Amino acid sequence: MGKETFSFQAEVSKLLDIVAHSLYSHKEIFLRELISNASDACDKLRYEALTKPHLTSDDSEFKITLDADKKAKTLCVTDNGIGMNRDDLMETLGTIARSGTQAFMDALSAAKKTEKKVKGDKNSDARVDLIGQFGVGFYSAFMVADKIEVTTRRAGESRAWLWVSDGRGEFSIEETSRESHGTDVTVHIKKEDKEYLDRVRIQTIVKTYSDHVGLPVILKGDGKKQEDETLNTAAAVWTRQKRDITAENYKDFYQHVSHMYDEPWLIVHNRVEGVQAYTNLLFIPSSRPFDLFQPERKSQLKLYVKRVFITDNCDELLPSYFRFVRGIVDSEDLPLNISRELLQHNPQLAKIKKALTKRLFSELKKKAEKTPEEYATFWKNFGAVMKEGLYEDFENRKALLDISRFRSTKSDGLISLNDYIAGMRDGQEAIYYITGEDAAQTTLSPQLEGFKAKAVEVLLLTDPVDEFWVSSVGSFEEKVFKSATRGGADLKDVKSENDKLDQLEGDRKKKVASVEPLIAAFKIALGEKVKDIRTSERLTDSAVCLVADDGDMDIHLERLLKQHKQLNEETPRVLELNADHSLITKLAARVTSGDGKDPIIDDAAHLLLDQARIIEGENLSDPSAFSRRLSSVMEKGFSN
């Protein structure tokens, strides 16, 4: 087959343009990326060869070779891994195959938008930082190359292919020959980047970024004075003694397995002996991975069996609410030829999963107790994901509730449920919460007025997941969770902080009685629009609020379901009136003294209901009726 030329996918061209023109200060990471691809290619072949041993019969000593040629100005990275056929090449080196690279592009366009707003300068540093944060894989080599050639042959196939590009919009593919399976990536180094041809520089880069790679990375000698030398430790990090592993080693390995470029927030490295022998090296990132809330909720742990890579993203190793955990598990007992399908429902894996989950809980608990501030950062990143476990994982519910943290009306920072219980008021029986989209806004809800007056703390639950666990969990330490926006919030039994309030309580009883006729009139005016009308125990400043009746769906949950088109009809709510509010008392007086035909009462009933809806953040069902009534009431007010 002759030489054919293709255009890069538009996105790739954009990416290459950025890569080639960025002033990124850690250009040397291109070598990390190429070595990482070479090592992945060897891992893939080792796995395939488990069932097809003939694939590696001619060449089974996996290694990566670097060959720097100062005269030709080329640096060549060779592996004897799986290789690529023509289709593979088309699919991978010309498109954006990897989701990490896609995420880079997304983050980039987001960054650009804000840049324009902030500075109007499109050459700011944001894009440059992003390269470091995401690593752009193979394409990063164009930071230092004016041309790249890839010669490759897929294991088990006889034809070899040459891919060439100068990174400016096009690449070509033609048939070539290669003695055996594997890949050579030949980077033609730009003049200004000739440092990457220097042996000492290469040694340092490999030691810095790729020491953890589990197969030898060999720098070729010149055939005369210089010998070939192995640059890395060439033993998978997790197999080494903990005392021989530096923080840098862990970090490099973390960045390699996670494709994240932050620092690990927590490292959990154990060797477990016994019935199940395995090693785990797990990391919790210090920032949120971009795919945290993707609907697949895929795990990202890699499974190895006796150092042989079996699969990426093994879902059977941790519950999905731990999907932000990165790293590896290396089992000694699973059969080497286990197929990826057989991993599902495997009892040995189930045992490992149980043990790993327990281990993570105990590590997190330690962190929460010893360094609460650091733990708060963790919780802000991943709390919303962890809370999925509260309704999914009954077995670990208690452990999870123990390490859960919450915002509340009384605290600036995060509190635990035990903190909450310790601060409960005399006579308070329940753990009160309110759900909403935004903590600052939720704190202003009129439903909370009575709680504030009685100094009762209320948890502010603002993650969408909160609606789901709070109803299924029910209670903690025998205290039930109760929504502050529901009927029967039992505030009467809670002792006030001072006697004055209790005395007000007495006055209130009298007022409540005087409001009864107004309630009757409102019920006639509003009919089916409300479920009930009552005087309120929870209002101090506002005239009215809406609450869900005991047993009815929470108002915020209903809104959430409607947004997601899971629900059409509306549950009628309970309208609560503040018998202390002067507007209400005046209206009540009007009803008592009037002849029952006062048109103001009808308008007032509708306007107050609409007002309560607005405060709740709901849409008005009939905005034009609302404005008609408002105008009419104002007009009457002005003419007095």
List interacting residues with Mg ion (CB under 5 A): 36-37, 137
135: partner contacted, choices Mg ion, ligand ADP, none (Cβ within 5-8 A by kind): none
Residue 188 class from Cβ within 10 Å (0-12 exposed, 13-18 middle, 19+ buried)?
Answer: middle
Question: What CA–CA distance (Å, rounded) separates 319 from 334?
Answer: 20
For the four alpha carbons of 166, 172, 176 and 179, in that order, the dihedral sign comes to: positive
Q: Which is nearer to ligand ADP, 177 or 441 (CB)?
A: 177
449: partner contacted, choices Mg ion, ligand ADP, none (Cβ within 5-8 A by kind): none
Please state the closest distance from residue 79 (CB atom) to ligand ADP, in A: 5
Q: Which is nearer to ligand ADP, 33 or 603 (CB)?
A: 33
Please state the closest distance from residue 363 (CB atom) to ligand ADP, in A: 29
574: partner contacted, choices ligand ADP, Mg ion, none (Cβ within 5-8 A by kind): none
| Residue closest to Mg ion, measured at CB | 137
Please state the closest distance from residue 281 (CB atom) to Mg ion, in A: 20
Please state the closest distance from residue 138 (CB atom) to Mg ion, in A: 6
411: partner contacted, choices ligand ADP, Mg ion, none (Cβ within 5-8 A by kind): none
92: partner contacted, choices Mg ion, ligand ADP, none (Cβ within 5-8 A by kind): ligand ADP
Question: What CA–CA distance (Å, rounded) separates 467 from 607?
Answer: 29
511: partner contacted, choices ligand ADP, Mg ion, none (Cβ within 5-8 A by kind): none
Instruction: Give the length of the chain.
Output: 640
Q: Which is nearer to ligand ADP, 252 or 449 (CB)?
A: 252
Q: Tell me whether strands 431-435 and 479-483 are parallel, antiparallel or unpaired.
A: parallel
Q: How many CB atoms lie within 10 A of CB 293?
A: 12
Q: Which is nearer to ligand ADP, 97 or 512 (CB)?
A: 97
**Three-class DSSP labels, 166-231:** CCCCEEEEEEECCCCCEEEEEEEECHHHHHHHCHHHHHHHHHHHCCCCCCCEEECCCCCCCCCEEC
| Residue closest to ligand ADP, measured at CB | 137
82: partner contacted, choices ligand ADP, Mg ion, none (Cβ within 5-8 A by kind): ligand ADP
Q: Which is nearer to ligand ADP, 64 or 390 (CB)?
A: 64
Q: Which is nearer to ligand ADP, 256 or 573 (CB)?
A: 256
Please state the closest distance from residue 92 (CB atom) to ligand ADP, in A: 4
Q: Which is nearer to Mg ion, 100 or 264 (CB)?
A: 100
442: partner contacted, choices ligand ADP, Mg ion, none (Cβ within 5-8 A by kind): none
Q: Tell me whether strands 64-69 and 217-219 are parallel, antiparallel or unpaired.
A: parallel
Please state the closest distance from residue 336 (CB atom) to Mg ion, in A: 25
Please state the closest distance from residue 188 (CB atom) to ligand ADP, in A: 17
Please state the closest distance from residue 183 (CB atom) to ligand ADP, in A: 4
> What is the residue-wise DSSP string for 322-348?
GTT-EEEEEESSS-TT--TGGGTT-HH
What is the Cβ-side half-sphere exposure of residue 119, based on CA atoms within 13 angstroms?
9
133: partner contacted, choices Mg ion, ligand ADP, none (Cβ within 5-8 A by kind): none
**Coil, strand or helix at 148:** strand
Q: Which is nearer to ligand ADP, 152 or 279 (CB)?
A: 152
Interface with ligand ADP (CB under 6 A):
33, 37-38, 40-41, 79, 81-84, 92-93, 97-98, 100, 137-138, 183
Please state the closest distance from residue 295 (CB atom) to Mg ion, in A: 25
356: partner contacted, choices ligand ADP, Mg ion, none (Cβ within 5-8 A by kind): none
User: CA of 525: how far to CAs of 177, 481, 598, 603, 608, in Å?
Assistant: 88, 35, 11, 9, 12
Please state the closest distance from residue 291 (CB atom) to Mg ion, in A: 17
183: partner contacted, choices Mg ion, ligand ADP, none (Cβ within 5-8 A by kind): ligand ADP
Please state the closest distance from residue 232 (CB atom) to ligand ADP, in A: 17
Question: What CA–CA distance (Å, rounded) separates 209 from 87?
Answer: 31
284: partner contacted, choices ligand ADP, Mg ion, none (Cβ within 5-8 A by kind): none
Beta carbons of 218 and 63 less than 8 angstroms apart: yes
Q: Which is nearer to ligand ADP, 33 or 193 (CB)?
A: 33
User: CA of 455: how far to CAs of 198, 411, 428, 448, 451, in Å?
Assistant: 70, 12, 11, 10, 6
AA identity, residue 370: K
Q: Which is nearer to ligand ADP, 326 or 407 (CB)?
A: 326
Q: Which is nearer to Mg ion, 133 or 320 (CB)?
A: 133
445: partner contacted, choices Mg ion, ligand ADP, none (Cβ within 5-8 A by kind): none
Q: Which residues pair with 311 in a beta bridge?
A: 303
Joined together, the tokens standing for residue 271 give 């060797």
Cα 106 from chain centroid?
A: 16
Q: Which is nearer to ligand ADP, 76 or 453 (CB)?
A: 76
Joined together, the tokens standing for residue 454 give 């009685």
Buried b (16+ CB within 10 A) or exposed e, 161-175: bbbbbebeeebebee
Please state the closest distance from residue 549 (CB atom) to ligand ADP, in A: 54
Buried b (16+ CB within 10 A) or exposed e, 545-577: bbbbbeebbbbbbbbbeeeeeeeeeeebbbbbb
> What is the residue-wise DSSP string for 50-112?
HH-GGGGSS-----EEEEEETTTTEEEEEE-S----HHHHHHHSSS--SHHHHHHHHHHHHHH
Nearest to 492 by CA among 454, 544, 444: 454
Q: Which is nearer to Mg ion, 34 or 545 (CB)?
A: 34
